[in-house]
Structure 1
Amino acid sequence: MLTKELKTKIVLSSSFDPWYNLALEEYLLDNVEEDEVILYLWQNANTVVIGSNQNTWKECRISEIEKNKGKIARRLSGGGAVFHDLGNLNFTFILSKQLYDLDKQLSVIINAVRKQGINAEFVGRNDIEVEGKKFSGNAFYFTDRTAYHHGTILIDVDISKLTDYLQVSEEKIVSKGIDSVQARVINLKNLNPNITIESMKESLKESFVEIYHSNCKEYLVEKDNPRLQELYSKYSSWNWIYGESPSFDIVFENKFSWGAIELCLSLKKAIIEKAVIYSDAMNNTLIARIADSIKGATFNIEEICSRLKTVNIDENEKIVLYDLCNWLESKKEYG
């Protein structure tokens, strides 16, 4: 139980560079105090941001992005690919794990949107919607000590770029019961023509103060901070954005209620030498643990499932391993 008085802080980024903004997000995550909650507000220009376990080559129309001088960035959290331009405002709650409270964090966003005369609600695994359409996708990341919850707020985004830049599978669209990505999302400007990025920022600041009952200060991080520069080098690197894309001997793909998965295996004398899993699942650390668990196994479905059952999981993760084992059981003709 925390006995110290809660500290709150608002950090505003002055940059529109996604690599800098994600570097700053991780820097704040590494340095947040035990009794502190940070609200970080930031914007990216002409950017596709993909989830930590996604395959850049499959998610993005890379040549289209490059032609329009856009950027591709990879975040730490799981989930799917999103498009950012300056009609979108990003938020991140950064705090210790013991202060993490998703309902409370979401209430800051929903309360701020209501201050703009728009009724919103949290729906499904990671969306905030109004009138059945999404204006905010959310994702989450946890370390041993800290956590962050971040998301988008679509205010006046060029929605046509969603289909120009993102390669969304037909299966994903059909599973939502809609005809296109554009039919699924909405700009808040369509509901309140007077809303702006600045007015939304002010509403978020007010809502944050009201819900956390604290007088918070706005805070700036010096751009020449050595650790921040080091993180920028990581986020802007080719290896981080694209990663290794080797050829694989076996590739299995499927879609589950918790996300899509692409299981890629390289074999040597029937032994799994390399296992890479691409996924838009929200639980990015579980996906990594699953991939690690099957390296070195004989390419035999029973042995793979046996390895999966040794992965340390909590109650919420059981469904993922259950679904994977049932699915792989149907592939027994392969091994």
Structure 2
Amino acid sequence: MASWRPLPTAIAGKRCSSLLLPSIHPPRPNPWVSSRTGRVPTPRQCRFLSEEAVSDRHNSVQVYVSRTTNPYMNLAIENFLLESSFTTSFILFLYTNRPCVVIGRNQNPWAEVDFSVMRDPNALADARRACGADADSDMTPGDEEETHIHGSGTDILLVRRRSGGGTVFHDLGNVNYSVICPTTGFNRNTHAAMVVHALRHGLGISARVNERHDIVVDDVIPPGPGDSDGSPKTETFKVSGSAFKIIKNRALHHGTCLLRSPHLPLLGRLLRSPAAPYIWGNGVSSVPSPVRNLFPGLERTLPNGVDIYTAFEQAVIAQFTALYGQPNIHEVIGDGGTEEKKTPISSLIREIDDIRVNYALLKSSAWIFENTPFFAFKSYRVQESPKNSNDVDMHGALSQGPPSDLRASITLRQGRILSAVFSVWGKPINSQQVRHLIRNGLFRIEDWRHVVGDDAAGEWLNRRLVTGSFTDSRVTRSSNRPGKRVVKYIKEGGGKRTGKTGKKRDRIERGRA
């Protein structure tokens, strides 16, 4: 990072507007000029969300609120804040995503998600009707930035985040919080407790942090006519999950908060993979928990008329401020806010290289699928778990399992097929289609009937392994800035990889990912 020195006020006043860097640095009323380039920042460059502002040690407390619902963009911004911020700063980032399934860094999407539900264009509307909400309610995204991602407002996106943990579902009724802080003194419960205090003081809701660092609420169920002891029972529901990532000197804690999601009836099918009972692998499995909304009635405002989302954001910011002090930067990203405090998404993509590159990476099939740990899929059950103890089709009915004449064994590493053995009616299949499977990405196979040559066996495999179409898998990273390595990952052409060190390496598994 370049060092900076103040310019005289007379010079600064001619080149930069008064609302810019002086408002970020109250003790330093003058804009700064780069000692490396000698250029005075133009008004377009003097933004609050910039590499210079985020990494400045004087901006010790920063608050950002994103108004885009693009999950890939929000995670790209989050990673930029984590990697570019000064080592002793404290950052709060609040955002809401359009409907999407977010898997952990080391998870297997085929073992976590029912892709047939994700592809169903009516799944979201049916879930809203099931919980009594309007099928055409305000839970459909409409950002101008949504044109940058595949699919329409009725689609459920698949996202792989950079942190660990289990699979979660995001929608417009769920608000996400991220806290970035120094690793010194970092505690996994500190910021979950911060949200608990925000719920209590801002929304009047009593909650607590459990042993898994999740936020839960306890509901007291009055005794029913069939209860012999006549005493009330307590049921615990999860309303917020957490995940963590720690790099050198920096720690990230991000979590969800279910305010008023109308899609909870969908989760039982969406996050219950029909392929999971047939998968053996090294991936991290999710731990299912009963969940509920903090506002089960899906009301939009509190009794005092305050918007629920606004009240939650203000309460979390107030608790964050109580912990770390008044923010040097408080900015709205995307739509909303005043001109002085708004950063357009288009300018982030155009001007900040790290955000642009990570945005393209996060929405690529190469990142989503080829980070999958080693696993094997077999046509007989290799695991039993409470989450996937039955083979369930998309309508909730028990299916008959694999056709009795099908025997399949597939091993994969990083989403690519290493070996595939099939037999139907005891006869091995060694067709050209099977031979072409080797080294191919599992997510690229659209119809298994052409591979095995049998309709019944192919349909059974399609139900469990076909993911549907996703974005382009080619990822290219480059930079002409001094000290930044040039890395390119080319999926086709034999998986050629080049880097500054000259060694072969996988851009997705290593490097800055």
> What is residue 223 of structure 2 aligned with on the other side?
none
> What is residue 362 of structure 2 aligned with on the other side?
235
C-alpha change, 1:112 and 1:197, in structure 2 (3 Å) is same
Larger radius of gyration, structure 1 or 2?
Answer: 2
After superposition, residues 173-252 of structure 1 pair within 5 angstroms as 184-190=290-296, 193=299, 194-195=301-302, 196-219=308-331, 220=333, 222-224=348-350, 225-243=352-370, 248=376
- Is 1:52–2:157 an aligned residue pair? no
Distance 2:66 2:58 in 1: 26
> What is residue 175 of structure 2 aligned with on the other side?
89
Distance 2:238 2:159 in 1: 22
> What is residue 300 of structure 1 aligned with on the other side?
none
The one-letter code sitting in structure 2 at the alignment partner of 1:121 is: R
Contact (CA 8 Å) 1:7, 1:214: kept in 2 or not? no
> What is residue 210 of structure 2 aligned with on the other side?
123
Report deviation, 1:253: 5.9
The one-letter code sitting in structure 2 at the alignment partner of 1:203 is: A
Contact (CA 8 Å) 1:209, 1:216: kept in 2 or not? no
Contact (CA 8 Å) 1:52, 1:77: kept in 2 or not? yes
Distance 2:160 2:242 in 1: 15
Contact (CA 8 Å) 2:192, 2:213: kept in 1 or not? no
> What is residue 163 of structure 1 aligned with on the other side?
268
> What is residue 258 of structure 2 aligned with on the other side?
154
How many residue pairs end up in the alignment? 248
What's the TM-score, normalizing by structure 1? Answer: 0.66
Distance 1:249 1:154 in 2: 34
The one-letter code sitting in structure 2 at the alignment partner of 1:186 is: R
The one-letter code sitting in structure 1 at the alignment partner of 2:189 is: D
- Unaligned runs of 5+ residues in structure 1 are 172-179, 256-263, 269-335
SS of 2:199's partner is helix
Report deviation, 1:153: 0.2
Contact (CA 8 Å) 1:23, 1:228: kept in 2 or not? yes
Alpha-carbon deviations, 1:140-195, whole Å to 9, x = none?
A: 01112211000000001121121232116999xxxxxxxx96x8111111389544
C-alpha change, 1:106 and 1:247, in structure 2 (3 Å) is closer
Contact (CA 8 Å) 1:118, 1:191: kept in 2 or not? no
Identical columns (%): 28
- Is 1:39–2:166 an aligned residue pair? no
SS of 2:241's partner is strand
Report deviation, 1:203: 0.9
C-alpha change, 1:244 and 1:76, in structure 2 (3 Å) is closer
What's the TM-score, normalizing by structure 2? Answer: 0.44
- Unaligned runs of 5+ residues in structure 2 are 1-56, 122-154, 219-235, 278-286, 303-307, 334-342, 386-410, 420-513
Distance 2:188 2:241 in 1: 14
Contact (CA 8 Å) 1:5, 1:35: kept in 2 or not? no
Structure whose residues are more often helix by fraction: 1
Report deviation, 1:93: 0.5
Report deviation, 1:96: 2.3
RMSD over aligned CA atoms reads: 3.2
Contact (CA 8 Å) 2:193, 2:208: kept in 1 or not? no
Alpha-carbon deviations, 1:23-61, whole Å to 9, x = none?
A: 111111111112211010011111000011111111111
Contact (CA 8 Å) 1:129, 1:135: kept in 2 or not? yes
The one-letter code sitting in structure 1 at the alignment partner of 2:80 is: Y
C-alpha change, 1:161 and 1:204, in structure 2 (3 Å) is same
Contact (CA 8 Å) 1:104, 1:211: kept in 2 or not? no
